[in-house]
Amino acid sequence: MRQRKYNLFSGGALVRIVIEGVKLYFYYERGQEVYEAVAESKAENAVESYYEDEIEYDIFGNVKESSVLRMFGLPGYSENVYLTYGDADSDGMVHILTRHHPEYWAGETKHRNSFFNPDTTFSDIEDIIESVIDYSRNAEWMYDNLDSWGTKAYDGYHDGEIYRVIMSGENVVSVFPISYNQAE
């Protein structure tokens, strides 16, 4: 029986190796320069400071994760969806910042994270959410899913870029860009 020899440089193997190496180099460099992990408390403190008039506290002086920071009306309906304070692990503004904003990134990723531009403000994030709600039939679909327990994703454009808003019932779980600035 004749034994087959494999050549490292045949069949595009070299090209794949070079591409993967460039991707790793890019990720490592960007990760060290832009995506340096910080403590979750940086995001929590920033959200508490920016939304100080909307924050509610429990009897021990701790921020209530359910504090509604911003209410968004669903166009054509009398219903609203809510952006809450949340927490780093599950939902709300703290989650959005610690997972998708370079300045507040807490170092955790799922399969693939995408990041806002570093100069994205709290107000910008609110505007993005509003744009996605207003995009196409998203408001109608959100209205239809207000009573659902599962999470639903809605895509839409803001200033020419595509974003995804994740909702669970009437609450914003997360928002992030899906067309650029991704890291694994």
Q: What is the DSSP letter of 5?
A: P
Q: Which helix (H) or strand (E) holds 175?
A: strand 171-177
Q: How far is CA 146 from the centre of its chain?
A: 20
The pLDDT tens digits for 56-101 are 999 999 999 999 999 999 999 999 999 999 999 999 999 999 999 9
Asked whether the beta carbons of 93 and 125 are under 8 A apart, the reply is: yes
pLDDT tens for residues 113-169? 899 999 999 999 999 999 999 999 999 999 999 998 899 999 999 999 999 999 999
Structure tokens at 140: 């109608």
What is the pLDDT at residue 30? 45
> CB of 166 within 8 A of CB of 172?
yes
What span, in angstroms and rounded, lies between the C-alpha atoms of 45 and 69?
14
Contact between residue 152 and residue 166 where contact means Cβ atoms under 8 Å apart: yes
**Widest pairwise Cα distance in the chain:** 80
Regarding beta strands 182-183 and 151-158, do their DSSP bridges make them parallel or antiparallel, or are they unpaired? unpaired
Average pLDDT, the chain: 85
